[in-house]
Structure 1
């Protein structure tokens, strides 16, 4: 999501994109997936606290308003440089369908999607890091 916003804002300075468990427009799906109690807290108090893995974070009404303003997938993403998306199939945070949505929504003719069968959202194993390094090298070759 942020990589796409950065590319949109700095078209002449970005030579390619590497997305790791990319969560484009995640604010939209995140809000709809929240428990009703959390939605009520956001509406009434302006924020809610969410626990994830071994930490927690605060989601605010302002966050969701700003996220909506910065949605990318609501129109074609005009970017004609290489894009590589890496996604773990054991990711329980971002759907494995997201890379396909991003690929189908961009004007780039050079989009690669790499699924890592045993990887989760963190993409932090040695094998994951090797895949990420290879993707960086591939982007460098393509530019």
Structure 2
């Protein structure tokens, strides 16, 4: 059964964890990187190169999966690198095909092609078992990767998880709007996160994405799952995290709802919560071993 925690104040959680090991690292995690990892490129036969940054260390490692049209250089991704360096655990962040510093054309990408990117990085670049941390669409990628590579996935942390969101959001549009989009062959989603003020999704992209939806049936994931979502998220409704929690087969699922949290969850206290959640999972997994 999923546990739900509604939090609107950091003070209580901070006091709860103040006696643990993570407080020794908190000044480092939120003040800038000391030793930024080196940018590298993964070459794949007949496929675009993927840009990534990797820090070697202990197991389990941590892999960060960015959101739609995002990249590995955001605040959450960089804070996690600093945290993992401080703790001595391995860490991997990368850009999907067509995003950030990776090769490829964004408009040609699909949910399936980005899933292949994630699986390649898990199979060829990441060492040993991993905790997958997915932000927004990265939360969807995280679930797909955990289903496909259960032996590599030791725990999941979703931040504003957007599982199936693009597909289901289109289906909720008025029928006349959907018909207009289908006639034009694309759907424009207004977004303050896009430089153009909107994301452009083709009907082909949405149709392909349907092949990767996970919320229609039980999700065959049995590792620990932590889902953090803001109640003020105007992009991806928080109830999607609740749906993931309800459908995941894992007996160890927690949902944390932040009253004032927004979609990006990039405020200092949001990042602290993410880091403490991962630290708790590392401690749990290490104790189990």
Same topology, TM > 0.5? yes
Normalising by structure 1, we get a TM-score of: 0.90
Q: What's the offset of the Cα at 1:37?
A: 6.7
- Where does the alignment leave 5 or more consecutive residues of structure 2 unmatched? 1-139
User: 1:89-128 alignment to 2 at 5 Å?
Assistant: 89-128=231-270
Query: Is this contact kept in 2: 1:27–1:68, CA < 8 A?
Result: no
Normalising by structure 2, we get a TM-score of: 0.47
Q: Which residue of 1 aligns with 2:226?
A: 84
1:65 and 2:207 equivalent? yes
Query: Is this contact kept in 2: 1:81–1:108, CA < 8 A?
Result: yes
1:30 and 2:169 equivalent? yes
Structure exhibiting the larger radius of gyration computed from Cα positions? 2
Q: What's the offset of the Cα at 1:33?
A: 4.1
Query: Following the alignment from structure 1 to structure 2, what is the Cα–Cα distance between the partners of residues 77 and 89?
Result: 24
The equivalent position to 1:3 in structure 2, one of 135, 139, 142, is: 142
Q: What's the offset of the Cα at 1:18?
A: 0.5
Give the count of matched residue pairs. Answer: 143
Deviations 1:56-105 (A, max 9, x none): 22111112111211110111111111100000111112222222211110
1:17 and 2:167 equivalent? no
Q: What's the offset of the Cα at 1:38?
A: 5.2
SS of residue matched to 1:40 = helix
Query: Following the alignment from structure 2 to structure 1, what is the Cα–Cα distance between the partners of residues 176 and 192?
Result: 20
Query: Following the alignment from structure 1 to structure 2, what is the Cα–Cα distance between the partners of residues 7 and 54?
Result: 27
Q: Which residue of 1 aligns with 2:272?
A: 130
Query: Following the alignment from structure 1 to structure 2, what is the Cα–Cα distance between the partners of residues 34 and 43?
Result: 12
Say which structure, 1 or 2, has more relative contact order (CA 8 Å, 6+ apart): 1
SS of residue matched to 2:227 = strand
- Where does the alignment leave 5 or more consecutive residues of structure 1 unmatched? none
In structure 2, do the counterparts of structure 1 residues 40 and 89 end up closer, same or farther at CA, with 3 Å as the change threshold? same
In structure 2, do the counterparts of structure 1 residues 67 and 53 end up closer, same or farther at CA, with 3 Å as the change threshold? same
Moved over 6 A (4+): none
Query: Following the alignment from structure 1 to structure 2, what is the Cα–Cα distance between the partners of residues 2 and 72?
Result: 10
More strand by share: 2
Query: Following the alignment from structure 2 to structure 1, what is the Cα–Cα distance between the partners of residues 193 and 242?
Result: 29
Could you say what the CA RMSD is over the residues aligned between the two structures, in angstroms? 1.7
SS of residue matched to 1:113 = strand
